[in-house]
Amino acid sequence: MSRSPVRIVLAEDSLLIREGLTGLLTRLGHEVVAAVANVEGLVSAVDEHRPDLVITDVRMPPGYSDEGLRAAVSLRRENPDLAVLVLSQYVATAYTVELFGNTRTSAASLGYLLKDRIGEVGEFAEAISRVAGGGMVIDPEVVRQMMSDRRKQQSLAALTARELEVLGLMARGGTNTMISRQLHISEAGVAKHVGNIFHKLGLNADDGHRRVLAVLTYLRDS
The lowest-confidence range among 42-46, 49-53, 139-143 is: 139-143
pLDDT tier at 169, thresholds 50, 70, 90: confident
Per-residue pLDDT reduced to its tens digit, 101-128: 654 445 578 888 999 889 899 989 999 9
> Which backbone phi and psi does 74 adopt, to 5 degrees?
-65, -45
Per-residue pLDDT reduced to its tens digit, 26-50: 999 999 999 999 999 999 999 999 9
User: Do residues 6 and 132 touch, judged by C-beta distance below 8 A?
Assistant: yes
- List CB contacts of 210: < 8 A, sequence separation 6 or more: 198, 203, 204
Q: Which of 119, 134, 133, 140 is nearest to 24 (CA)?
A: 119
Per-residue pLDDT reduced to its tens digit, 81-108: 899 999 988 776 666 667 776 544 455 7
- List CB contacts of 87: < 8 A, sequence separation 6 or more: 12, 55, 56, 57, 58, 113, 114, 115, 118
Q: Which of 25, 72, 17, 12 is nearest to 46 (CA)?
A: 72
Give CA–CA dist 176/38, Å, rounded: 39
CA angle 124, 126, 132 (to 5 degrees): 100
How does the average pLDDT of the chain come out, rounded? 83
pLDDT tier at 155, thresholds 50, 70, 90: low
Whether pLDDT at 147 is above 60: no
Residue that wins the pLDDT comparison between 222 and 217:
217
Per-residue pLDDT reduced to its tens digit, 191-217: 999 889 888 887 765 444 567 667 767
H/E stretch holding 111 reads: strand 110-114
Q: Which of 2, 56, 10 is nearest to 31 (CA)?
A: 10
pLDDT of residue 149: 44
pLDDT of residue 151: 42
Give CA–CA dist 109/200, Å, rounded: 26
Residue that wins the pLDDT comparison between 4 and 37:
37
User: Do residues 86 and 112 touch, judged by C-beta distance below 8 A?
Assistant: yes
pLDDT of residue 102: 56
User: DSSP class of residue 119?
Assistant: G
pLDDT tier at 23, thresholds 50, 70, 90: very high
pLDDT of residue 104: 44
